[in-house]
């Protein structure tokens, strides 16, 4: 089944399906930039220098497509300081993007991703509880999409014709997970967080961390476990952004029967007070997130 038939089956509107297609259509142009863009001059050696530009190019490509679609009322991007107001003629969606998350991994050719959330009320600052759907595109050996809405979480693979085919339906975060993915520098962790991570080793969980949120979360979703990016000493808000990273991933985790917490409350209860609002996050299998909240008290 293709992504658009799947969305129709979930009773998504034509405007919504068109909105998703606008984003899907930008994957090829974004991946072309990895090869040096229009000049086709990119080489492995160039990647380091091009890395910052690739973030910005992915951002430009997506925002340009949003503007010409007429479907977007408000857009927010990790690459932009402010909410971007657009002229919309239909749909009137609020859309947040992290256009190329984990871009520091591009020089090493590890997986990176695009993270998206959609607000049907058009208001991206209205609170994470208003997210109506979220997805990520994982640019790895395969181009994958993990899409979540009120009907649950499904995984798609991009085929040779540039169409996403359904490969997994009704994905659930296993309560029998054996992976942990701990962000942030050990020396900057709080004592309680250090103890929590130590307890994972003692319980036989395996460390899997690449430094790119999309693949790191994807392996937690696939095998079960917990991803954390904690409050740091001198940086209690942690690193990850509420609007562009934590919000969409928390929506996906909860839709898969998992959980996401800032260490105290559900992250989906957060109402951002600025575009760059950040939060600590513990996300993954419900049992492990509950245990983390207990141990951090
Ligand atoms: P970025 O948006 O600047 O790429 O930063 C976000 C990334 C996430 O992909 C990842 O989970 C985290 O930052 C890794 O941070 P660290 O290098 O501190 O482990
Ligand atoms: Mg990011």
Q: What is the pLDDT of residues 84-108, one digit of tens each?
A: 999 999 999 999 999 999 988 888 8
79 CA from centroid of ligand 2 (Å): 9
Please check whether residue 102 lies inside any domain of the structure: yes
Does one domain contain both 187 and 159? no
The whole-model pTM stands at 0.95
Residues 183, 120 share a domain: no
Print the domain residue range for 49.
3-168
Does 72 score more than 80 pLDDT?
Answer: yes
Examine the pLDDT at 46 and tell me if it is beyond 90.
no
Q: What is the mean pLDDT of residues 277-283?
A: 98
Distance between Cα 267 and ligand 1 center (Å): 18
Q: What is the mean pLDDT of residues 251-264?
A: 98
Domain membership of residue 173 (yes or no) is no
pLDDT value at residue 33: 85
User: What value does the mean pLDDT take over residues 214-231?
Assistant: 98
Region 22-46: what's the mean pLDDT?
72
Last residue of a domain, one of 140, 168, 196: 168
Pocket test for ligand 1, best of 213, 215, 243 (most atoms within 8 A of CB): 213
Which atom of ligand 1 is found nearest the CA of 183? 19
| Residue 174 resides in a domain | no
Q: How confident is the model at residue 47 (pLDDT cuts 50, 70, 90)?
A: very low
Asked whether residue 35 is assigned to any structural domain, the reply reads yes
Do residues 24 and 164 make contact, with C-beta atoms less than 8 angstroms apart? Answer: yes
CA–centroid distance, residue 215 to ligand 1 (Å): 11
How far the first Cα of the chain sits from its last, in Å, is 46
Q: Would you state the pLDDT for residue 37? A: 57
Domain count along the chain: 2
- Kindly tell me if the per-residue pLDDT of 83 is higher than 90: yes
Which of 240, 244, 247, 276 best tests ligand 1's pocket when mutated (most atoms within 8 Å of CB)?
Answer: 240
Higher pLDDT, 244 or 51: 244
């Amino acid at each position: 089944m293709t992504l658009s038939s799947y969305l129709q089956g979930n009773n998504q509107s034509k405007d919504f399906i068109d909105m998703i297609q606008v984003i899907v259509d930008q994957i090829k142009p974004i991946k072309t930039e990895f090869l040096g863009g229009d000049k086709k001059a990119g080489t492995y050696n160039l990647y380091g220098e091009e890395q910052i530009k690739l973030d910005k190019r992915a951002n430009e490509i997506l925002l340009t497509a949003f503007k010409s679609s007429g479907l977007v009322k408000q857009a927010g991007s990790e690459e932009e300081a402010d909410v971007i107001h657009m002229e919309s003629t239909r749909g009137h969606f609020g859309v947040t993007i992290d256009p190329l998350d984990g871009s520091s991994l591009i020089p090493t050719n590890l997986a990176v991703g695009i993270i998206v959330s959609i607000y049907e009320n058009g208001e991206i600052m209205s609170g994470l509880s208003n997210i109506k759907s979220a997805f990520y595109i994982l640019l790895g050996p395969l181009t994958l999409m993990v899409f979540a809405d009120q009907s649950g979480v499904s995984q798609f693979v991009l085929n040779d014709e540039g169409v996403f085919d359904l490969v997994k339906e009704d994905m659930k975060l296993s309560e029998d997970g054996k992976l942990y993915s701990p962000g942030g520098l050990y020396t900057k962790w709080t004592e309680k967080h250090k103890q929590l991570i130590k307890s994972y080793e003692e319980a036989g969980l395996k460390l899997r961390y690449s430094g790119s949120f999309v693949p790191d979360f994807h392996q937690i979703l696939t095998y079960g476990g917990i991803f954390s990016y904690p409050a740091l000493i001198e940086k209690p808000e942690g690193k990850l952004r509420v609007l562009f990273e934590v919000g969409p991933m928390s929506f996906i985790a909860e839709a898969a029967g998992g959980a996401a917490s800032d260490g105290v409350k559900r992250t989906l209860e957060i109402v951002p007070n600025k575009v760059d609002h950040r939060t600590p996050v513990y996300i993954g299998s419900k049992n492990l997130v509950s245990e983390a909240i207990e141990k951090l008290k």
